[in-house]
Amino acid sequence: MDPTKAMSVFSRACPYLARTGMSVLQGLAALPAAGSSRPLSTSAADQARCSVCPGHTGQSALLAKASECPVVGPSIRANEAAEAAATAHHHQVPAACPYAKCTASDKAPASAVSASEPVSHGSQETAFDYEGLYQAKLAKKHDDKSYRYFNNINRLAAKYPQAHTAKTSNIVTVWCSNDYLGQSKHPAVVDAMKSALDTYGAGAGGTRNIAGNSALHLRLESELATLHRKEAALVFSSCFVANDATISTLCSALPECVIFSDQMNHASMIQGIRNSRARKHVFRHNDLAHLEELLAQYPRATPKLVAFESVYSMSGTVGRIPEICALAKKYGAITFLDEVHAVGMYGPHGAGVAEHYDYDASLQAPTGQRIAGSVLDQVDIVTGTLGKAFGIVGGYIAASSSLVDMIRSYAPGFIFTTSLPPPISAGAVASIQYLSKSQRERFLQQTHTRELKADLDNAGIPVVPNPSHIVPVLVGDAERAKRASDMLLSDHSIYVQSINYPTVPVGQERLRITPGPGHDAFMRARLVGALDSVWNALGLKRTADWEREGGRCGVGESRANSELHVGWKRGVEHVWEDHQLKQAHAYELARKGGVAIEPTIPATVQQQIVSATAA
């Protein structure tokens, strides 16, 4: 109760207060009670609030004196008890409050522990069962058949595309490598790495900021900027890190940024979107109408980023790059294009699908020069990897010099990690330079992909339709996809990894096949025969079976319907069109003096294949 207001109430009932002058009462109201160390302010309003926890003050001498009165004392004490109970129920008094400290010191026994000391829970309490949680999470994976088993596969540089398993004498043919063009064993790449190893050693020595920035890093970034006809490039330890660091750094810097992400985007982009904490919308895969509907909800001045891929690795579908860029420009957005599964593979110089859209113009324009109005020129940020078609490891972005410098200056994923070792950078430079001039590997890879797709179609093996180099064979069940993979390896010495959730949705499990330049017609015939045998043994659905059920993932669906999501140009079956393959073939014949373009398969490898088949 406010002391000043209380005086008029108490004076009517208390003989002492009725005989005491107003100045004395005011003096008592301004003094603390006897024996209390809690100071009171001279203002009644100030007494009613505390700077730490409003509503708590010390008791004045006036109320202390009045509490001794046999008439009003019981009422005051009852009122204080009620207020104390209400305060305890609704408000936890902070330890920093001087009133709370004094109260605790007045009431606590001498042996009580100080409130400022942390509470200690005895060792008798049961600790959290960490191992139990680990085992429960793993059990869930086993129960839903999504647990991942890693096969021991050791690819042999001198016998590409073959490998040995844990037993070195057990030779298998690899049909699912992301070393799409076999560059990891190319002499030009290996020699460059050996030279750098002898000259600079094995390690980078630190981050780019601390002893880890070398001429090889700068040269690699220059090569990448030239390849994509951008002002600058920045190299990361992987493209997962590149995507995560770039999206999260950029979109957290853009005020009120909104991100628009394709439904089938890679986990690295999804992680970057989460880490940015920006608002996001997910548009249906390659659905331009849905994307525009979402973009149209925001003013043109709102910062926006549209994130998508050129080649989607598990389906082989291709992003609608020119149309998405046009929508982004219309609604004031910037574009973020992941070319991870396309760099080295598409375009006359291996810059990816965006370059391939302007194939002829890219052939004619000087290297590294911007081609105004081209599809590649419309893309704001390109990301790629050194770990797939280029055959090494690492990731990168290519964009304007100011954006690249901003990411370099702010992205933790770049700043606080050891840079790529010199041999890696040297090998990447050699691979990029080689593939920017050679069409041999791309020609063979694309030709082998077409031939395999045709053979599988004739056998009724269900291939998810797409215009790229990926050959996804639909199984539709996680457990049976794993069994099919195991049977190919154990019974046919063929390695093709099964793909399940969360890489693909449940019910869309598949085998992912990636033909390479080194897979010849003999190997291809063995693969098709092995798949046909496994399909029969496991009773897996063929294309006609999926068609009778209405289709799935484009398998067993009409071409018009599947074209809605496969991407590329309407009515054009392959990204590498027929006339472009003929042109690439003629170019290589002229470059090699008429030498035939065919896979280079060592005789020892051919003999091993024949032996394995006979066995």
User: Which tens digit of pLDDT belongs to each residue from 2-50?
Assistant: 555 555 555 555 555 556 666 666 666 666 655 544 444 444 444 444 4
Neighbours of 487 (CB within 10 A): 17
Q: Which of 101, 388, 482, 541 is catalytic?
A: 388
Distance CA 52, CA 39 (A): 15
3-state DSSP of 171-227:
EEEECCCCCCCCHHHCHHHHHHHHHHHHHHCCCCCCECCCCCCCHHHHHHHHHHHHH
Angle at 410 between CA 247 and CA 331, to 5 degrees: 40
The per-residue pLDDT for 612 is: 47
The per-residue pLDDT for 448 is: 97
Catalytic (active site) residue 388: yes
The H or E element that residue 281 is part of is strand 279-283
- How many CA atoms lie less than 13 Å away from 106 in the CB half-sphere? 11
CA 69 to chain centre: 74
Among 39-43, 319-323, 383-387, which stretch is predicted with the lowest mean pLDDT? Answer: 39-43
Q: Strand 395-399's sheet: what is its strand order?
A: 232-236, 395-399, 381-385, 334-338, 304-309, 258-262, 279-283
Residue 595: pLDDT band with limits 50, 70, 90: confident
Do 203 and 420 touch, CB atoms closer than 8 A?
no
Among 87-96, 111-120, 138-147, 225-234, which stretch is predicted with the lowest mean pLDDT? Answer: 87-96
Q: Is the pLDDT of residue 199 over 90?
A: yes
The per-residue pLDDT for 72 is: 61
- How many CA atoms lie less than 13 Å away from 383 in the CB half-sphere? 26
Do 257 and 303 touch, CB atoms closer than 8 A?
yes
Q: How far is CA 38 from CA 84, 115, 542, in A?
A: 17, 18, 86
Task: Read off the pLDDT of each residue in 321-325 and give the average, rounded to a whole number.
Answer: 98
The per-residue pLDDT for 54 is: 46
Alpha helix ranges (H) inside 108-186: 130-143
Distance CA 363, CA 425 (A): 26
Percent of the chain with pLDDT strictly greater than 90:
71
Task: Read off the pLDDT of each residue in 404-431 and give the average, rounded to a whole number.
Answer: 97
Q: Is the pLDDT of residue 291 over 90?
A: yes
Task: Read off the pLDDT of each residue in 272-288 and give the average, rounded to a whole number.
Answer: 97
**3-class DSSP state for residue 57?**
coil
Residue 405: pLDDT band with limits 50, 70, 90: very high
Please tell me the pTM assigned to this model: 0.78
Residue 492: pLDDT band with limits 50, 70, 90: very high
Rounded to the nearest integer, the mean pLDDT of the chain is: 86
Distance CA 230, CA 104 (A): 68
Q: Which has more pLDDT, 323 or 100?
A: 323
Q: Which two tokens stand for residue 500?
A: 């399940």
Q: Which has more pLDDT, 198 or 79?
A: 198
Task: Read off the pLDDT of each residue in 328-352 and give the average, rounded to a whole number.
Answer: 98
Q: Is the pLDDT of residue 120 over 80?
A: no
Task: Read off the pLDDT of each residue in 299-319 and give the average, rounded to a whole number.
Answer: 97
Distance CA 527, CA 216 (A): 41
The H or E element that residue 474 is part of is strand 471-474
Do 188 and 434 touch, CB atoms closer than 8 A?
yes
Parallel, antiparallel, or unpaired: how do β-strands 395-399 and 381-385 relate?
antiparallel
Neighbours of 606 (CB within 10 A): 13
Residue 145: pLDDT band with limits 50, 70, 90: confident
Task: Read off the pLDDT of each residue in 169-184 and give the average, rounded to a whole number.
Answer: 97
Place of tokens 């019974």: 491
Do 282 and 330 touch, CB atoms closer than 8 A?
no
Beta bridge partners of 510: 474, 499
The per-residue pLDDT for 383 is: 98
The per-residue pLDDT for 315 is: 95
The per-residue pLDDT for 29 is: 63
The per-residue pLDDT for 4 is: 52
Do 567 and 467 touch, CB atoms closer than 8 A?
yes
Looking at residue 196, its amino acid is: A
Q: How far is CA 285 from CA 81, 457, 570, in A?
A: 66, 25, 16
Q: Which two tokens stand for residue 182?
A: 């076999």
The per-residue pLDDT for 2 is: 54
The per-residue pLDDT for 532 is: 98
- How many CA atoms lie less than 13 Å away from 444 in the CB half-sphere? 20
Q: Is the pLDDT of residue 421 over 80?
A: yes
pLDDT digits (tens, 9 = 90+) for 46-74: 444 444 444 444 556 666 666 677 666 66
Task: Considering only CA atoms, give the Rg of the chain.
Answer: 36
